[in-house]
Structure 1
């Protein structure tokens, strides 16, 4: 298997799950600043020109959430639940995240980390304020859900936890008000106990990313 990645948000969850599972994967770094994601050979793998992408034999798979579910299934790991009801719950939380928490946490990540990295200037205060407001709204929903639960689905860690929490390692550097939500903070602290979560990206000869 080959996992094409950059040291940005969506690939982070794919790399974290792959390392957590200990799967034999060749990691292929895609340099976004050089536009490698737009080259024909990469577009043949992922026509969206995005990362991550996974190649497993004749199978090309893109979208980070699909990739982490596939990896967990391929490893026969409990990160992909056995019961149909819990599988639906995984889909529910991934869908919720993409439309809500990740969307607005990602805006803050862009304003504070990506913009300076690509030379787009300082964070826009109005966009920051808007994103922080939505972050608080949706983090509040998550905080309530986590009361009395160790993980999103209850007692068992799943791919949903890796997906929904993916922006939180950048909370401090991207001005996400995570400290206002003790259950979310507690939940993320549990993920931080895993080396694969703290350091998901493979080492490269020249570490040039300031946003990882």
Structure 2
């Protein structure tokens, strides 16, 4: 298997799951700043020109949530639950995250980290305020859900945890108001106990450019 990645939000969850599972995999860095994602050979793998992408034999798979589902299933890991009802619950949280928490956390990540990396200037205060307001709304729902639960699905860690939490490592640097939500903090602290979560990306040569 080959996992094409950059050191950005969506690939982080794919790299973290791959490392957590200990899957033998070749990591291929895609230099976004130099436009490697738009080259014909990469577009043949992922026509969206985005990262991450996974090549597994004859299968080309894109979209980070699909990739982590595939990795967990291929490893026969409990990160993809056996119960049909829990599988539906995983899909619910993946969908919720893509439309809500990840969307607003991603906006703050863009304003505070991506814009400086690309030389696009300072964060736009109105965009930051709007994203923080929606982030609080969605984090409040998540905080309530986590009361009395160790993980999103209860006692069992799943790919939903890896997906929904993916913006949180950048909370401080991207001004996400996570400290207002104690259950979310507690849940993320549990993920931080895993080296695969804290250090998901493979080592690259020292001269390589670092992504935001």
Q: Same fold (TM over 0.5)?
A: yes
Say what the alpha-carbon RMSD is for the aligned residues: 0.6
Say whether 1:209 aligns with 2:210.
yes
- TM-aligned CA deviation for residue 187 of structure 1: 0.1
- TM-aligned CA deviation for residue 210 of structure 1: 4.9
- TM-aligned CA deviation for residue 6 of structure 1: 0.2
State TM-score, norm by structure 2: 0.99
Secondary structure in 1 matching 2:3: strand
1:52-201 aligned at under 5 Å gives the runs: 52-201=52-201
Which stretches in structure 1 are left out of the alignment for 5+ residues?
none
- TM-aligned CA deviation for residue 197 of structure 1: 0.1
Q: Is the 8 A contact 2:6 2:211 kept in 1?
A: no
Secondary structure in 2 matching 1:92: helix
Q: Distance in 2 between matches of 1:158 and 1:23?
A: 16
Q: Is the 8 A contact 2:46 2:53 kept in 1?
A: yes
Secondary structure in 2 matching 1:55: strand
Say whether 1:24 aligns with 2:1.
no
Runs of 4+ in 1 over 3 A off after TM superposition: none
Secondary structure in 2 matching 1:117: helix
What is the CA deviation profile of residues 150-185 of structure 1, one whole-angstrom value per residue up to 9, with x for unaligned ones? Answer: 000000000000000000000000000000000000
Secondary structure in 2 matching 1:96: helix
State TM-score, norm by structure 1: 0.99
Q: Distance in 1 between matches of 2:176 and 2:83?
A: 34
- TM-aligned CA deviation for residue 123 of structure 1: 0.2
Which stretches in structure 2 are left out of the alignment for 5+ residues?
none
Say whether 1:48 aligns with 2:44.
no
